[in-house]
Amino acid sequence: MKWVKSSYSGGNGGQCVEWSPSSAPAGVVPVRDSKDVRRVPLRFSAGAWGAFVGGLKGSGC
């Protein structure tokens, strides 16, 4: 599975969120903390993930 780091994650090694876009066409988006990659990723429906990201973009975060 290929992971993509959030463009808002800090460059100093902290607060890094990654997601795997390769699973989105199947309707599931895995999300993980890059500092703890052994942990099972959280899984969101593609619709829920899209709403979350859209909400962040609209909030100015």
Tens-digit pLDDT string for the chain (61 aa)? 888 887 766 666 666 888 898 887 888 999 998 888 899 999 999 899 889 888 888 776 6
pTM exceeds 0.75, yes or no? no
Q: Which two tokens stand for residue 42?
A: 């959280």
Helix (H) or strand (E) holding 5: strand 4-5
Q: What is the pLDDT of residue 61?
A: 60
Structure tokens at 17: 């969120």
The confidence score (pLDDT) of residue 25 equals 81
Burial 11-30 (b: 16+ CB within 10 A, else e): eeeeebebbbeebbeeeebb
Looking at residue 17, its pLDDT comes to 85
